C-alpha cells in the first residue's frame, strides 16, 4: 500500500511543479491601458449628462446648456498612461478635430485638471464618431520617450436639433503672448517672458537670449479654443499634411494654447503670428473673438530663393554655402523687425558695406519683398566666389544707418562651388499638383487659392463647411500646367472653418487646404 502511494504523490508533485510557472504567467500577465467608456459632460456644471454609447442620439434642444465636453474614462492597467489622443470626425470631414491630453480627466475639449473645470465645446446637428487611444511607456528601464498605444474606444453617435447661433464677441481678446523654454522639465516653470510686437530675439549666451527650442502660446480670459496662423520663418514647422510649407495652421482646443504640440527648434527668420480666440471648441463652433497679430524676429541670416522669394533655410555661423547645390537664384536676408535700417559689413574689407532702409533687409537688395538675385552686378557679388567670409548685420534706430546702433549679428560663411542658375531659366513654379496658398487666411469674405497644376486637363474646386456640407463648387476646363489663382467669395456664409478641395479630374487626385472665415 505504501509503495503504491509514493508514486502517486511524486506524480502530483511533478504536476504542481510543471503547472506553477504556467499559473504564474496567467495570473500576472500585464494589462495594457484601455479606454472603457465616454461620458457626456455639462461644461457649465462639470457633471456627467450621460454615457456616450455607440448609436447614442444627442438631443441638442433638450440640453440645459449647449456648452458640453466628452470625457474618456481610462483604465491604466499595469502601466502609467502618458497621454490620451482624441479624434472627432463628422460628416465627410475626418480631421474635424484632434487633441492630446496628458493628465486626467481626459477631455475632448480640454480641462483644468487642478480644478476639474471642463472647457466648453459645441456640437451642431450631424453624425459623429469619437475615438480615444491611451499611450503608455511599456518598459520602465527603456527609453522614456517610447510610447505605444493601448486599447482604443470608438463610438458613433448623432446630434439632432437646431444649430446654435453665434457671432462676434468683442470682449474675447488675446491679452498676452508667452515664450516658454521647450527644454525644461516642469511645464509650470517654463515661462520666460511675454512677447511683444516688433521684438527681436537673440540666441546666445547673453542675458535675455532665447533657447534653441521653445513653446509659444497666446492667452486671454474665457477662451475655449484658438486658431493660429503662422507665416514667415523662425521655427522648423510641419503642417498636418507633412509639409513644411506656409502658412502653418494650428487649432488648439484647450489651455495651455501652445502653437506647437512639442518644443520647436528656433531658426533665423521673421515670423508673423495671428491668433483668433473662440468661446467654444473647436474654433468656428462658438462666438468669434478679436484676432491678435504680432511680428517677431529670431535674429540671424536666412538664405532666400530669389525666384520664389521664399526662405530656403538658416545660415548659421560656420555653415558652408555650396553654390553648386542651389537650384535657384539666391539672396541673403538679415532677420530683424521694427528697426530703422540695417547695415551689412564684411570683415577685412572696410570699403564694402550695404545699407537697407526697409524690410526685408537683404544683402543683394529687394523691392517690397521681391528679392534681387545675387549675381555679378549685385553689391555683394563677392559671395559668389569661393572663400570664407564673415558678414555682420547691424540694425540702427533710424534710416540710412542713422541713430543708435543696436545689437548686431555675425556669421562666418564658407562658400564653395559655383552658382549655375540663370535668372531667365529659373523655375517659377514648383513641380507637382498642390495648393500653394490660401491668402488671406483668416479672410472676410474673399480669399484667393493659388494652385499649381502639373498637367493639362479639367479641374474642379469644392468648398465644405465643418459639417461636411458642400457650400461652393466650380469647374475649370482645359487648363494648362502652371500656377493659377482662384478667388473664392464666401459672402453670406457663416463664420467658421471651411475646407477647400481642388480635384484633378483625369487622375482623381485631390489636394486640400483649410481657411477660417471671420466676420
**421 within domain boundaries:** no
Co-location of 119 and 181 in the same domain: no
Q: What is the pLDDT of residue 51?
A: 96
Range of the domain at 15: 1-29
Domain count for the chain, please give it. Answer: 5
CB-based contacts of 69: which residues, under 8 Å, 6+ apart?
A: 40, 41, 43, 107, 108, 109, 110, 111, 118, 119, 120, 121
The alpha carbons of the chain give a radius of gyration, in whole angstroms, of 29
Co-location of 288 and 307 in the same domain: no
| CATH number of the domain within which 502 lies | 2.60.40.1930
Co-location of 198 and 282 in the same domain: yes
Using CA atoms of 176, 182, 183, 187 in order, give the dihedral in degrees to the nearest 10. 60
> Which among 190-199, 206-215, 237-246, 265-274 has the top mean pLDDT?
190-199
pLDDT at 515 over 90: no
Confidence label for 25 from pLDDT (cuts 50, 70 and 90): very low
Average pLDDT of span 327-344 = 92
Angle ∠(405,410,414) on CA atoms, nearest 5: 155
**422 within domain boundaries:** no
Confidence label for 244 from pLDDT (cuts 50, 70 and 90): very low
**512 within domain boundaries:** yes
End-of-domain residue from the set 357, 388, 416:
416
The overall average pLDDT reported for the chain is 82
Among the listed residues 266, 158, 259, the one whose alpha carbon sits nearest the alpha carbon of residue 212 = 266
Between the CA of residue 17 and those of 7, 24, 27, 274, 427, what are the distances in Å? Answer: 15, 11, 16, 69, 77
Tens digits of per-residue pLDDT, 160-189? 998 877 778 899 999 999 988 865 555 556
More reliable by pLDDT, 100 or 452: 452
Query: Which of 17-31, 184-198, 411-425 is predicted least confidently?
Result: 17-31
User: Cα–Cα distance between 441 and 425 in angstroms, integer?
Assistant: 32
Tens digits of per-residue pLDDT, 277-298? 988 877 777 888 999 999 999 9
Co-location of 411 and 450 in the same domain: no
**423 within domain boundaries:** no
Give the 3-state DSSP-derived string for 283-326, with helices as H, strands as E and coil as C. Answer: CCCCCECCCEEEEEEECCEEEEECCCCEEEEEECCCCEEEHHHC
Co-location of 237 and 182 in the same domain: yes
Pairing between β-strand 153-160 and β-strand 56-59 as defined by DSSP bridges = parallel
Q: 416 and 321 in contact (C-beta within 8 Å)?
A: yes
Average pLDDT of span 462-486 = 81
Residues in the chain: 519
Q: What is the pLDDT of residue 177?
A: 95
**133 within domain boundaries:** yes
More reliable by pLDDT, 363 or 244: 363
Q: What is the pLDDT of residue 26?
A: 42
Average pLDDT of span 191-210 = 88
Q: What is the pLDDT of residue 240?
A: 42
**374 within domain boundaries:** yes
Co-location of 155 and 44 in the same domain: yes
Three cell numbers, residue 393: 548685420
> Which among 8-12, 194-198, 242-246 has the top mean pLDDT?
194-198
Co-location of 97 and 14 in the same domain: no
Confidence label for 1 from pLDDT (cuts 50, 70 and 90): very low
| CATH number of the domain within which 330 lies | 2.60.40
Q: What is the pLDDT of residue 414?
A: 94
Co-location of 227 and 268 in the same domain: yes
Using CA atoms of 368, 369, 375, 377 in order, give the dihedral in degrees to the nearest 10. 10
Average pLDDT of span 451-461 = 85
Lookup result for grid cell 533665423: 268
Tens digits of per-residue pLDDT, 358-415? 889 999 888 877 888 888 777 788 888 889 999 999 999 999 999 999 999 999 999 9
Q: What is the pLDDT of residue 294?
A: 94
Please report, rounded to a whole number, the percentage of residues in the chain having pLDDT higher than 70.
84
Task: Name the 3-class secondary structure at 215.
Answer: strand
**Which backbone phi and psi does 62 adopt, to 5 degrees?**
-95, -5
Q: What is the pLDDT of residue 239?
A: 44
Peptide bond into 440 cis (omega under 30): yes
Average pLDDT of span 263-271 = 80
Q: 291 and 518 in contact (C-beta within 8 Å)?
A: yes
End-of-domain residue from the set 115, 136, 160:
160
pLDDT at 422 over 70: no
CA dihedral for 310, 312, 315, 316, sign (positive or negative): positive
b/e per residue 74-112 (b: at least 16 CB within 10 A): beebebebbebbbbbbbbebeebbbbebeeebbbbbbbe
Average pLDDT of span 198-219 = 86
Q: What is the pLDDT of residue 40?
A: 96
Among the listed residues 241, 252, 240, the one whose alpha carbon sits nearest the alpha carbon of residue 216 = 252
Co-location of 323 and 278 in the same domain: no
Q: What is the pLDDT of residue 22?
A: 45
Confidence label for 6 from pLDDT (cuts 50, 70 and 90): very low
pLDDT at 95 over 60: no
pLDDT at 316 over 60: yes
pLDDT at 7 over 80: no
Co-location of 180 and 244 in the same domain: yes
Q: What is the pLDDT of residue 434?
A: 86
Q: What is the pLDDT of residue 93?
A: 61
End-of-domain residue from the set 359, 381, 416:
416
Q: What is the pLDDT of residue 184?
A: 53
Q: What is the pLDDT of residue 243?
A: 39
Co-location of 39 and 147 in the same domain: yes
| CATH number of the domain within which 138 lies | 2.60.40.10
Among the listed residues 127, 120, 129, 131, the one whose alpha carbon sits nearest the alpha carbon of residue 42 = 120
What are the strands of the beta sheet with 387-396, ordered from one edge? 320-322, 409-416, 387-396, 341-346, 349-356
Tens digits of per-residue pLDDT, 481-513? 777 888 888 888 888 788 898 988 888 788 888
More reliable by pLDDT, 350 or 395: 395
Q: What is the pLDDT of residue 483?
A: 78
**151 within domain boundaries:** yes
**257 within domain boundaries:** yes
Co-location of 385 and 314 in the same domain: yes
Amino acid at each position: 500500500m505504501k509503495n503504491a502511494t509514493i508514486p502517486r504523490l511524486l506524480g502530483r508533485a511533478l504536476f504542481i511543479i510543471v503547472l506553477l510557472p504556467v499559473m504564474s504567467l496567467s495570473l500576472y500577465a500585464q494589462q495594457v491601458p484601455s479606454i472603457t467608456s465616454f461620458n457626456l459632460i455639462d461644461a457649465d456644471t462639470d457633471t456627467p449628462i450621460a454615457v456616450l454609447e455607440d448609436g447614442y442620439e444627442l438631443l441638442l434642444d433638450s440640453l440645459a446648456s449647449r456648452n458640453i465636453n466628452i470625457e474618456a474614462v481610462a483604465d491604466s492597467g499595469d502601466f502609467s498612461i502618458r497621454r490620451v489622443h482624441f479624434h472627432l470626425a463628422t460628416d465627410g470631414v475626418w480631421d474635424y478635430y484632434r487633441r492630446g491630453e496628458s493628465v486626467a480627466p481626459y477631455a475632448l475639449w480640454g480641462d483644468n485638471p487642478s480644478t476639474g473645470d471642463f472647457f466648453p465645446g459645441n456640437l451642431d446637428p450631424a453624425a459623429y464618431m469619437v475615438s480615444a487611444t491611451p499611450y503608455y511607456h511599456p518598459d520602465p528601464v527603456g527609453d522614456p520617450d517610447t510610447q505605444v498605444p493601448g486599447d482604443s474606444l470608438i463610438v458613433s453617435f448623432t446630434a439632432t436639433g437646431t444649430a446654435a447661433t453665434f457671432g462676434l464677441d468683442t470682449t474675447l481678446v488675446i491679452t498676452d503672448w508667452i515664450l516658454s523654454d521647450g527644454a525644461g522639465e516642469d511645464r509650470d516653470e517654463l515661462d520666460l517672458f511675454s512677447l511683444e510686437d516688433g521684438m527681436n530675439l537673440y540666441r546666445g549666451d547673453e542675458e535675455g537670449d532665447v533657447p534653441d527650442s521653445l513653446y509659444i502660446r497666446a492667452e486671454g480670459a474665457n477662451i475655449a479654443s484658438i486658431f493660429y496662423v503662422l507665416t514667415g520663418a523662425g521655427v522648423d514647422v510641419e503642417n498636418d499634411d507633412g509639409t513644411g510649407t506656409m502658412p502653418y495652421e494650428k487649432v488648439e482646443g484647450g489651455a495651455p494654447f501652445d502653437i506647437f504640440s512639442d518644443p520647436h527648434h528656433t531658426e533665423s527668420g521673421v515670423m508673423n503670428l495671428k491668433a483668433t480666440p473662440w468661446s467654444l471648441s473647436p474654433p468656428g463652433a462658438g462666438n468669434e473673438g478679436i484676432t491678435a497679430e504680432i511680428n517677431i524676429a529670431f535674429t540671424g541670416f536666412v538664405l532666400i530663393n530669389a525666384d520664389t522669394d521664399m526662405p530656403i533655410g538658416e545660415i548659421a555661423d560656420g555653415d558652408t554655402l555650396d553654390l553648386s547645390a542651389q537650384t535657384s537664384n539666391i539672396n541673403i536676408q538679415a532677420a530683424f523687425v521694427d528697426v530703422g535700417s540695417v547695415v551689412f559689413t564684411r570683415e577685412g574689407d572696410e570699403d564694402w558695406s550695404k545699407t537697407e532702409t526697409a524690410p526685408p533687409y537683404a544683402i543683394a537688395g529687394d523691392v517690397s519683398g521681391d528679392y534681387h538675385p545675387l549675381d555679378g552686378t549685385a553689391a555683394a557679388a563677392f559671395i559668389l566666389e569661393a572663400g570664407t567670409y564673415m558678414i555682420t548685420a547691424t540694425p540702427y534706430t533710424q534710416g540710412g544707418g542713422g541713430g543708435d546702433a543696436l545689437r548686431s549679428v555675425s556669421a562666418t560663411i564658407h562658400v564653395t562651388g559655383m552658382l549655375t542658375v540663370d535668372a531667365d531659366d529659373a523655375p517659377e513654379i514648383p513641380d507637382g499638383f498642390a495648393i500653394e496658398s490660401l491668402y488671406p487666411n483668416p479672410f472676410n469674405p474673399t480669399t484667393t487659392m493659388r494652385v499649381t497644376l502639373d498637367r493639362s486637363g479639367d479641374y474642379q474646386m469644392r468648398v465644405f463647411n465643418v459639417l461636411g456640407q458642400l457650400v461652393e463648387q466650380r469647374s475649370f476646363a482645359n487648363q494648362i500646367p502652371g500656377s493659377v489663382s482662384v478667388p473664392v467669395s464666401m459672402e453670406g456664409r457663416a463664420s467658421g472653418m471651411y475646407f477647400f478641395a481642388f480635384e484633378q479630374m483625369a487622375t482623381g487626385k485631390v489636394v486640400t487646404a483649410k481657411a477660417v472665415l471671420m466676420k
